[in-house]
Amino acid sequence: MREVNQTCSLRNLGVLEASPNKEFGIGENRHVNVFATTSGSNESARNLCICGEERALREHYSSRLVTKTEKLRDLEDSLKFLGKLAATAVRHGIPVDLDLPLGTAWMRLCEEDGNMLDILTEIDLLASRRFLQCTEDVCEEKHYITHFLMKQQQMLNHFAEGISSVLPVEVFSLFTGFELKDYFCGNDEVDVELLQKVVEYEGYSDGDVIIRYFWETLREMTTDERKLFLQFVWARSRMPLRERDFDSPFKIQKDTKSSSSEALPTASTCFFTLSLPEYDSKEKLREKLLFAIKHVKTMESDYVTNDAEVGEGWQGF
């Protein structure tokens, strides 16, 4: 188990926080974030992992521990804005990297019923096990779990309100939770075969050796490296699910400006284009491509080079 960050700082400006599974590195769903319920603390998720008197005291004196006035209103407004932002991205065909729980977020938006144990396991494996051990109708564990899920529903309402200002949430009931999540978030894996279906070449052809090297290298990359590649060429972290959902083709063009074997690949994120020098080996291509995606920022306005710098490759850094 990885070392737990005791400060438990919030990501995403305090709007979302790590679920207990993610925070403590347990269970199968270690990527999931839940809605923050109080700005500036991680108590909502952490309380599920606390038992006995300590948790009872935290709940009883929560009004003394957390300011629930201006901070809470700011959080609710932020969740509405997040909903507007996510819905606007969907309107423009841009998948968003929004790892919300299936059971407490996407299924709820679809008004789809789910199994309580499955919903809880997705967020907190240990709490789900304690939930199973509750044999009494009135159980302290069930009380706190229900309280947490009710808070999540309350925060989801504000998120949904933001979505409703851009998209008709009334039609969400036509989808399943899985379908709605895919609709918003796209594919969290970089599908190389799908990318190959939407590619266009300029200066190269599909049968060129360098192109074969490129696709083999992309397939051999780790999941995180492929995501870095997508950020590098498109400034996005997720791909659409279907070929028809791409608003533009992925273009690989031959770099005719740089003759040096040390030249780095470059990208135009606005046009989803990779400019690829014609390296003489697969090893050289892999070396330069990995260096580029790990060290060069994705947006052209953030990192501007001239032709001489590109020709020098990493020796110019």
Q: What DSSP element (H or E) covers 142?
A: helix 140-164
What backbone torsions phi and psi does residue 11 show, to the nearest 5 degrees?
A: -95, 170
User: CA separation (Å) from 208 to 196, 198, 213?
Assistant: 14, 17, 9
Residues acting as catalytic residues: 270
DSSP-derived letter for residue 29 is: -
Strand residues in the chain grouped as ranges (E): 16-18, 33-35, 199-202, 250-254, 266-268, 273-276
For 18, the 3-state DSSP assignment is strand
> What are the structural domains, with CATH classification, of the chain?
12-185 (3.90.1750), 192-316 (3.30.2410.10)
Average pLDDT value for residue range 259-276: 89
Nearest Cα residue to 269 out of 227, 299, 244, 237: 299
Instruction: Give the pLDDT score at 296.
Output: 74
d(CA 26, CA 34): 15
Residue 236 has pLDDT above 90, yes or no: no
- 266-268 and 250-254 as β-strands: parallel, antiparallel, unpaired? unpaired
Residue 316 has pLDDT above 70, yes or no: no
Query: Is the full-model pTM beyond 0.85?
Result: no
Residues in the chain: 317
For residue 307, what pLDDT band results from cuts at 50, 70 and 90?
very low
pLDDT digits (tens, 9 = 90+) for 13-40: 688 999 999 988 888 888 899 998 764 4
Percent of the chain with pLDDT strictly greater than 70:
77
CB 165 within 8 A of CB 157: no
pLDDT digits (tens, 9 = 90+) for 83-125: 999 999 999 888 888 989 999 999 999 999 888 889 999 999 8
Nearest Cα residue to 80 out of 144, 169, 140: 169
Instruction: Give the pLDDT score at 13.
Output: 65
Instruction: Give the pLDDT score at 142.
Output: 76
For residue 11, what pLDDT band results from cuts at 50, 70 and 90?
very low
For residue 214, what pLDDT band results from cuts at 50, 70 and 90?
very high
pLDDT digits (tens, 9 = 90+) for 33-66: 999 876 444 444 445 544 444 444 444 444 444 4
Q: Which two tokens stand for residue 261?
A: 């074997």
Instruction: State the burial class of residue 100 (Cβ atoms within 10 Å of its Cβ: 0-12, 13-18, 19+).
Output: buried
